[in-house]
Amino acid sequence: MGKIIVETCEIEGLKIITPAVFGDERGYFMETYNKNDYVAAGIDYEFVQDNQSSSKKGVLRGLHFQKEFPQDKLVRVISGEVFDVAVDLREDSKTFGKWFGVVLSAENKKQFFIPKNFAHGFVVLSDNAEFAYKCTDFYHPDDEGGIKWDDPEIGIEWPMPEGMTKEELTISEKDQKWRGIKEFIKSK
């Protein structure tokens, strides 16, 4: 019981995980995490912190990372739907500055593994969404970094929630102030 299907992405290190779901007339059951299954799939990390957030339609969070204490993340959606994005910030990577996005929802039950040294963010496509993720390091408030969500150098193709425009997205003041990837490179 509890086997997972792991898909690799065009950016090395990113993985989409689909858990086995067992359903009947009562509902469903699934293992959201089983260390043995993940280790067998090559995802052998010690997660030390779980986080959960709730956001309404049109909220865009990100693109976040930690500078000196980077985190590997295993993210999923408990209710609703989001478009989840990772941007490669590994300077020695052939895909540095490239992005990959995937729809995560309560319906598809997919998970997204994002290794350290990626910026991460998502936009809520449904009326509400609950987002949960595991991290391999603790959150350090003074270590926070970010990249501008709409940096043209990266060119993320964010889908807009139905009936909304980019101007109607809800973005925190902090997230509106991040700079682009060129400034990230200069600050290294």
CATH of the domain at 82: 2.60.120.10
Question: What residues contact residue 121 under an 8 Å CB cut-off, 6+ apart?
Answer: 60, 61, 62, 63, 64, 84, 85, 149
Is 133 an annotated catalytic residue?
yes
pLDDT tens for each residue of 69-102: 999 999 999 999 999 999 999 999 999 999 999 9
Q: Are 103 and 147 in contact (CB under 8 A)?
A: no
Residue span of the structural domain in which 73 resides: 4-186
pLDDT tens for each residue of 27-71: 999 999 999 999 999 999 999 999 999 999 999 999 999 999 999
Residue of 38, 45, 120, 133 marked active site: 133
Q: With a cut of 70, say whether residue 2 has pLDDT above it.
A: no
Q: How many domains are contained in the chain? A: 1
pTM: 0.95
Question: What residues contact residue 22 under an 8 Å CB cut-off, 6+ apart?
Answer: 1, 28, 29, 30
Residue of 38, 45, 64, 120 marked active site: 64
